[in-house]
Structure 1
Amino acid sequence: MENLLRVGVISNTHGVRGEVKVFPTTDDPKRFKKLKKVILDTGEEYINLEVQSVRFFKQLVILKFKGIDNINDIEKYKGKDLLVTRENAVPLEENEYFIYDIIDAEVVNENGEPIGTLKEVLTTGANDVYVVETEDKKEVLLPVIDECILDINIEEKKVVAKILPGLVD
């Protein structure tokens, strides 16, 4: 669903009272403190859940949902995504965007010639990397640095990139 954004994935249950361990997929896991509602994507349907409590353990977030008080009620959702609506998403700063908004964007070089389609964004320690699929189904990895990514136009779903030496055969 286009106006839903993933904030985490249920990785496991925690205890027997319906709590879950969530692997956060958001830049700031502390955002869960302010989160009141999430949407559980079961793969077959969306279930609205109200957050009752939030705790942090290592890199995980431990959530308790109202009305789910038993491990058996939540165990079946291991590996399922937790989503929020755009309205409940973290407000973006200027020149920020959601990764979802650039997936399937057309990637062109500085002359406007097509390179391919942006299929995935890899998050690394130093900088993100765009995975671009060319017309002949090859992958080109573009580091998200100023020298390589020249422009990102969310409205047009277009990325202008400069191919640095050594990035393409």
Structure 2
Amino acid sequence: MEWFNVGKIVNTHGIWGEIRVISTTDFPDERYEVGSELGLYKADGSKPIIVKVASHRKHKNFDLLTFEGYTLLKDVELLKNALLKVSEKYLSDLEDNEYYFHEIIGCTVESIEGETIGKITEIIQTGANDVWTVQPTIGKTHYIPYIEDVVKTIDIENKKIIIEVLDGLLS
């Protein structure tokens, strides 16, 4: 079974076992719903732990969570820098032209003329639109905005994306 990143624990919050999470999911209310199961992958590389969400609330730019069985600060201090992941069985179907990050990362990007530009290695969320980090085989990294004027075709099955290279996009 595959697990997909939904956030990173960056700190504790208060003394009652609450943790501060920077989310990498577009569905925090669904992922952190009370009773949801998450995989907790500690930074030390130890075996993942399955945790159940006991509470969730927003605070500034963070999601604050507590887990069942982790009620005090001392219980969660060692969880700093751990990744939170969701099992593939909990992934929901998306609307047309919506994709999970793991479906986009690793795709080869080509121009409409057939020139290979590189592979997508990261997705940056800017607020306005996502920006794809594209690493060519040689040369410097490109940043491709996920907008209609640029992205023409997304073929998840074949891990291939066709873009129109606008003036200055690859410079």
TM-score of the aligned structures, taking structure 1 as reference length: 0.89
Aligned to 2:127: 125
CA displacement 1:41-63 (0-9 Å, x = unmatched):
11312110011222222232221
Q: Distance in 2 between matches of 1:55 and 1:22?
A: 11
Query: Mean alpha-carbon deviation: is it higher for 24-33 or for 155-164?
Result: 24-33
Q: How many residues align?
A: 168
TM-score of the aligned structures, taking structure 2 as reference length: 0.88
Alignment RMSD, CA only?
1.8
Aligned to 1:22: 21
Map 1:1-80 to 2 at 5 A. Answer: 3-31=2-30, 32-33=32-33, 36-43=36-43, 44=45, 45-80=47-82
CA displacement 1:93-117 (0-9 Å, x = unmatched):
2221111112121111112221111
Aligned to 1:100: 102
CA displacement 1:107-129 (0-9 Å, x = unmatched):
11112221111111121132211
Residue 161 of structure 1, CA deviation:
0.9
Q: Distance in 1 between matches of 2:147 and 2:49?
A: 38
CA contact (8 A) 1:109 1:160 kept: yes
Q: Distance in 1 between matches of 2:97 and 2:35?
A: 24
Q: Distance in 1 between matches of 2:170 and 2:59?
A: 42
Q: Distance in 2 between matches of 1:168 and 1:64?
A: 44
CA contact (8 A) 1:118 1:133 kept: yes
Matched residue SS, 1:33:
coil
Gaps of 5+ in 2: none
Map 1:81-160 to 2 at 5 A. Answer: 81-160=83-162
CA contact (8 A) 2:34 2:55 kept: no
Residue 88 of structure 1, CA deviation:
1.4
Residue 148 of structure 1, CA deviation:
0.9
Cα distance change on mapping 1:108 and 1:35 into 2, 3 Å: farther
Gaps of 5+ in 1: none
